[in-house]
């Protein structure tokens, strides 16, 4: 399932959402590996209908068309794959990177990147087409964002020189080039997809999971520091409170990319959707 990501790139000045732009255009969804990037998203979206806030010139906001040839219930793993991709690229710039299920990348426990997966069924395609949306905060600082976000978001620039004076920050900004970071992400995403499709040499059964998938899941768990964490699962629960979910310990991931949580009663809960609250926070 090799995808040549970035074989075609559509560049837009301003758009409501790169994901929405693609969802409305079936002819573009036919082109696997196509990327749509916008200098500014005015109505960016996150998971569960949440808003992704862009700052002109300070973000990378783009969407990728993928043809995974997988059923809908196996698509979740691509959010984890995207997280691993972003983490690998961020290691060139910052430290203390952590992944959070299902689709966030944190630096110093603040959100620096969000990932939105959406699927579309189009004519002549048996499996759904996947749109992978990525929004990464590159330049500027948290003060550039709305007040309610300033304590929970961060940027590459602010993490590279969090305590520097204005002159040093200007120098940091000069080495941050959105286009270079964009190309690094596309290259790494291609590599991750190649790894994902690798099959173990000792098995040729068509229904076996690939060794690349297993390696990806293990890398995600390591980068998330998730194993053994006490969490509250709001699995299909609308109200986001600790009292409305199920408390347990993260034991691993299913091969589809869903969390496995051992509850206080000893049962294994598969967390498919809804928020996860870290009980140690």
pLDDT in tens, 7-45: 999 999 999 899 999 998 999 999 999 999 999 887 545
Q: Kindly state whether residues 167 and 274 are assigned to the same domain.
A: no
- Is residue 206 in some structural domain? no
pLDDT band for position 206 (cuts 50, 70, 90): very low
pLDDT band for position 149 (cuts 50, 70, 90): confident
- Is residue 205 in some structural domain? no
Q: What is the pLDDT of residue 51?
A: 54
Give the number of residues written for the chain: 281
Q: Kindly state whether residues 148 and 17 are assigned to the same domain.
A: yes
Q: Kindly state whether residues 148 and 272 are assigned to the same domain.
A: no
Q: Kindly state whether residues 192 and 265 are assigned to the same domain.
A: no
In the predicted structure, residue 163 carries a pLDDT above the cut 90: no
Q: Kindly state whether residues 42 and 128 are assigned to the same domain.
A: yes
- Domain of 55? 8-196
CB 131 within 8 A of CB 19: yes
- Is residue 124 in some structural domain? yes
- Is residue 216 in some structural domain? no
pLDDT tens for residues 102-144? 889 999 999 999 999 999 998 888 899 999 999 999 999 888 8
Q: How many domains does the chain have?
A: 2
In the predicted structure, residue 48 carries a pLDDT above the cut 70: no
Q: Kindly state whether residues 121 and 240 are assigned to the same domain.
A: no
Q: Kindly state whether residues 137 and 259 are assigned to the same domain.
A: no
């Amino acid at each position: 399932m090799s995808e040549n990501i970035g074989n075609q790139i559509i560049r837009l000045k301003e758009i409501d959402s790169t994901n929405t732009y693609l969802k409305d255009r079936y002819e573009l969804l036919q082109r696997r590996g196509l990327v749509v990037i916008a200098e500014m998203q005015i109505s960016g979206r996150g998971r569960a209908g949440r808003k992704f806030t862009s700052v002109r010139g300070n973000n990378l906001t783009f969407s990728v068309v993928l043809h995974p040839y997988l059923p809908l219930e196996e698509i979740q793993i691509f959010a984890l794959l995207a997280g691993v991709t972003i983490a690998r690229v961020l290691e060139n710039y910052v430290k203390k990177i952590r992944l959070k299920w299902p689709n966030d990348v944190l630096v110093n426990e603040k959100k620096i990147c969000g990932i939105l997966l959406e699927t579309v069924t189009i004519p002549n395609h048996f499996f759904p087409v996947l749109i992978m949306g990525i929004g990464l905060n590159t330049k500027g600082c948290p003060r550039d964002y709305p007040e309610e976000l300033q304590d929970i978001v961060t940027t590459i620039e602010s993490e590279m020189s969090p305590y520097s004076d204005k002159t040093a920050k200007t120098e940091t900004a000069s080495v941050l080039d959105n286009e270079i970071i964009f190309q690094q992400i596309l290259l790494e995403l291609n590599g991750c997809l190649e790894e994902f499709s690798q099959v173990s040499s000792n098995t040729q059964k068509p229904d076996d999971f690939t060794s690349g998938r297993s390696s990806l899941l293990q890398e995600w768990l390591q980068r998330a520091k998730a194993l053994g964490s006490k969490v509250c699962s709001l699995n299909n629960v609308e109200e986001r409170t600790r009292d409305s979910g199920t408390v347990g310990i993260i034991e691993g991931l299913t091969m589809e990319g869903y969390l496995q949580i051992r509850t206080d009663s000893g049962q294994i809960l598969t967390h498919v959707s809804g928020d996860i609250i870290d009980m140690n926070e």
